[in-house]
Amino acid sequence: MSKSIDFVKDHFNKYETRKIIVPEWKDDDNKPLEIFVEPITLELKKKILAKTKIDEVEALAYALIWLAKDKDGNNHFTLEDKFVLMKKADPDVVARVAGDCMTIPTYEEAKKK
């Protein structure tokens, strides 16, 4: 007999790593940055929401630092990059990409996987 918590885990396990293409951020070969985002956990969401209570805009930079990974699972950004994200990056692009990273697929989207 299955326990209720197993339903919770089964649902979460349907989520897969998502790829986000950022056409504005290109490498030397003019290829857009690919960001890979693992399913966000409640623990990580709590961390981001805590930053939001202090500074909503700065929380966007933290979301990229904590969530944006390369294809090998390494962080694209570090705390050292926060200055650039805050002061030398297009705020609309940062906000859009951070929002995309924090988005959770709907149940129907996850079910299709």
- Give tens-digit pLDDT for 27-84: 999 999 999 999 999 999 999 999 999 999 999 999 999 999 999 999 999 999 999 9
Residue 104 lies in a domain: yes
Which residue range forms the structural domain that includes residue 90?
A: 40-113
DSSP code of 81?
Answer: G
Number of separate domains in the chain = 1
Which pTM was predicted? Answer: 0.85
pLDDT value of position 68: 98
Residue 100 lies in a domain: yes
Q: Calculate helix-pair angle for 56-67, 42-54, nearest 10 degrees.
A: 150
Residue 18 lies in a domain: no
Residue 75 lies in a domain: yes
Residue 17's Cβ-count burial label (10 Å; 0-12, 13-18, 19+) is: exposed
Report residue 107's pLDDT band, with 50, 70 and 90 as the boundaries. low
State yes or no: pLDDT of 106 exceeds 70.
no
Residues in the chain, how many?
113
